[in-house]
Structure 1
């Protein structure tokens, strides 16, 4: 079965963001490479970008990996407030959902406070302090359905 792993881009602060994400999710980086590691005559890297992140990967749980890179200056800046994609986390418990929601939303902007939803899950949405949008959800019925297969 194919896996879906979010890959997000930053304007020069990928390492700071991922250090924060690691503090919330735990674990260790599976990979971290910098632009200077790939510099060559065909792909010259400026001193200001040499230590920026070319690729970083943080395994989350048993089967997921959150990945990212900094956008090279040559490609211009992207508008962080126009990104309307969300990373959705399906927690294994209400307590885990609560911890992840409040850990990741620290310093960010909560759009929908995490709470019991009309459709039966514990649900919330926010934009973190790096401009990345997240959904955190715990659906007790979903977990039972998986176990019944």
Structure 2
């Protein structure tokens, strides 16, 4: 169980997901090594033992970065299990890659949200509820 976010580089910056036309084709985020470098600059210590799957662990929690299998990266999936402090790093990564992050829990664009951590907060509340119920 994780809070899932996908990073895409569009032909322009959108304010809302509804503005993205059906024929929009995401541009390349970069080569595998360029994306790995960007992730590692924002999230130092990310483990790239599997070149398509980076794992970042910190005192704030963890993120798994799924780059896919190709040498060119068109989108980056983030599986987040962390505190809200991690959201600032996700936004920095978007700036570094010139892309936008879509919160898959509510289809919002993180960089356009007044409260970009809202989806993560909701996920944490749900997770805590599920974990609490399963323990007793």
Q: TM-score, normalised by structure 2?
A: 0.45
Q: TM-score, normalised by structure 1?
A: 0.42
Highest relative contact order (Cα 8 Å, sep 6+), 1 or 2?
2
Higher helix share: 2
